[in-house]
Structure 1
Amino acid sequence: MKLQAGNHKRKILAENIAFGLFRILSGVIVTILFIILAFIIIKGVGVLNWDFITTPPTDGMKGGGIWPAIVGTFYLMVGSAIVAFPLGIMSGIYMHEYAKSGRLVRFIRMMTNNLAGIPSIVFGLFGMSLFVNFFGFGDSILAGSLTLGLLALPLVIRTTEEALKAIPDSFREGSLALGATKLQTIRKVILPMAMPNVITGLILALGRVSGETAPILFTCAAYFLPQLPHSMFDQCMALPYHLYVLATSGTDMEKQIPIAYGTALVLIIIILFVNLLANALRNYFQNKLKTN
């Protein structure tokens, strides 16, 4: 009995040490995050005003605002979402609901995981070779959107597939037993239940492409372009590349660095807004699922 009590105490002690270590690490990570956010806010809030957001850059990017970069970032995010979201969701549905388990499916999953880990600059070089040169789109919003869409596609596929895996097979069997077809089961039962987790994957994908610099560097980003693009075949400015340019090159770094911090703060606010909007959609689908 004493031996069992001693083993029990040691297990409790080891468990408390492990949980304490996890709490410390989580606290360190959260603290670092808040320090970074506080640093950017303190450095960037001084230049953040309505004119900074709504006017184009002037005087060789040593003055003015970042409105063309905001518009260009929005175009690229929407364009990449149009490419990645439908293809990724449909591919995830096919992989989990239709494809039979075998070597081919395992190979596709392995390659999808590998693509998700490839550095973004490789996607940029591929997009330049395929969309800019081979298809002749040139440096354009279309080429940049397609490249960013390919960058986000593996993440959307894997998160969609994992969301579908979380749905118990009993729901599929019950729907089929009631006479529904496989397509009706997926549309009316499985996909609505998986939608909150699917949206989480879309959030992650959109958050990744919104901050990428290397892919748009080779496919669409302009160094200095005060006017707004008129079509998908035009170049555009984008916040990540604009921030890179402000922080690394120029003729008057003392004037450009505060603008760079302001640009970084605006980019963080945009990503935060996108996440809040996506979370609102997630909560909407969850509440709708509960009411049904």
Structure 2
Amino acid sequence: MRISIFSTLAVFFILIIFVIFKGIWHLSWDLFAWEYTSNNVSMMPSLINTLNMVLLSLFIAFPFGIFGAIYLNEYCKSPKILSLISIASETLVGIPSIVYGLFGYLAFVIYFGFKTSFIAGSLTLSIMILPLILRSSQEALKSVPLNLKEASFALGAGKIRTIFAVILPAASSGILAGVILSVGRIVGESAALLYTSGSVAKVASLMDSGRTLSVHMYAISTEGLHINEAYSTAMILILLVLLLNGSANFIAKKLTR
């Protein structure tokens, strides 16, 4: 077990150190210019798009995941339905992102007429992370001690009040763990977004095409002209994920207290 833990941590730190070492020497103010050009290959529009994509995707998927988990844990009494939803969600978690991208392209870009746009990419990513949020929230709700529920009912609280005032706060750390994993998947996603949100290097509105950091890194690396800037973008991407995960963990600890 110690060898496994050491090996995992070693690979993690080697990757982090390698990317930072390759990218930090090529950081410049041009990479943070407000407008992208072929000369400065600025990542700022993509950075803003990434943060907006995270917020919008979570805004769409989080309520469905939470309320779905509440229904499955507190109201659904059919073992067949629970088993079916469990199998479906676990299957959806394992589907490659390129399949979600093709589905989003056919559904949102073509059928619903959103074209290649920011909203099409957000809806696609929402479907991707929904099973992850649903399963993690369901497991977090299951882990809440039964005596907390019984104490709430004994004090005269109804079921709705017990769920929102007792169960959800007690399960907040587990729910946020699923959110953290979802944020990591959103930030690192590129295949699905190439089909849905496109790769235009500008700050995108809902109906405009725009690239995220991962798509930006893919685009400039495949051109072969800005490999060093691609490493710098990868470094910023890793730091962004660490920052978002650290913030979520801090919030989870505050809620647990």
1:260 CA displacement: 0.6
1:275 matched residue in structure 2: 245
Alpha-carbon distance in 1 for matches of 2:81, 2:143: 22
* 64 and 242 in structure 1: CA distance in 2 versus 1, 3 angstrom threshold: closer
Q: How does 1:8-19 map to 2 (within 5 A)?
A: none
2:74 matched residue in structure 1: 97
2:214 matched residue in structure 1: 240
User: 1:180 corresponds to which letter in structure 2?
Assistant: A
Alpha-carbon distance in 1 for matches of 2:94, 2:80: 21
1:23 corresponds to 2:22: no
1:29 CA displacement: 1.1
Alpha-carbon distance in 2 for matches of 1:25, 1:68: 40
Alpha-carbon distance in 1 for matches of 2:58, 2:254: 20
1:56 to 11, 23, 35: 35
Alpha-carbon distance in 2 for matches of 1:232, 1:76: 10
Superposed CA deviations along residues 139-195 of structure 1, whole A, max 9, x for unmatched, are 111100000000000000000000011112121122112221110110111111111
* 64 and 102 in structure 1: CA distance in 2 versus 1, 3 angstrom threshold: closer
3-state SS of 2:211 partner: coil
Identical residues among aligned pairs (%): 39
1:228 matched residue in structure 2: 203
Q: How does 1:83-122 map to 2 (within 5 A)?
A: 83-122=60-99
1:38 to 17, 36, 39: 17
8 A contact 2:213–2:237 mirrored in 1? yes
Alpha-carbon distance in 2 for matches of 1:87, 1:104: 17
1:52 CA displacement: 1.5
Superposed CA deviations along residues 203-261 of structure 1, whole A, max 9, x for unmatched, are 11111111011110110122x43x422x200011211111112222x2xx2x4100110
* 64 and 131 in structure 1: CA distance in 2 versus 1, 3 angstrom threshold: closer
User: 1:202 corresponds to which letter in structure 2?
Assistant: V
1:10 matched residue in structure 2: none
8 A contact 1:79–1:145 mirrored in 2? yes
2:232 matched residue in structure 1: 262
1:43 CA displacement: 0.5
8 A contact 1:55–1:64 mirrored in 2? no
When the two chains are superposed, the root-mean-square deviation of aligned CA atoms in Å is 1.3
Alpha-carbon distance in 1 for matches of 2:198, 2:247: 26
User: 1:258 corresponds to which letter in structure 2?
Assistant: N
1:70 corresponds to 2:40: no
Count, aligned residues: 257
* 270 and 42 in structure 1: CA distance in 2 versus 1, 3 angstrom threshold: same
8 A contact 2:30–2:40 mirrored in 1? no
1:105 CA displacement: 1.6
- Could you say which structure has the larger radius of gyration? 1
3-state SS of 1:180 partner: coil
Alpha-carbon distance in 2 for matches of 1:49, 1:94: 50
1:18 matched residue in structure 2: none
8 A contact 2:66–2:134 mirrored in 1? yes
TM-score calculated relative to the size of structure 2: 0.96
1:126 matched residue in structure 2: 103
2:153 matched residue in structure 1: 176
1:47 to 2, 10, 26: 26
3-state SS of 2:6 partner: helix
Alpha-carbon distance in 2 for matches of 1:44, 1:208: 22
Alpha-carbon distance in 2 for matches of 1:53, 1:64: 9
User: 1:88 corresponds to which letter in structure 2?
Assistant: G
1:199 matched residue in structure 2: 176
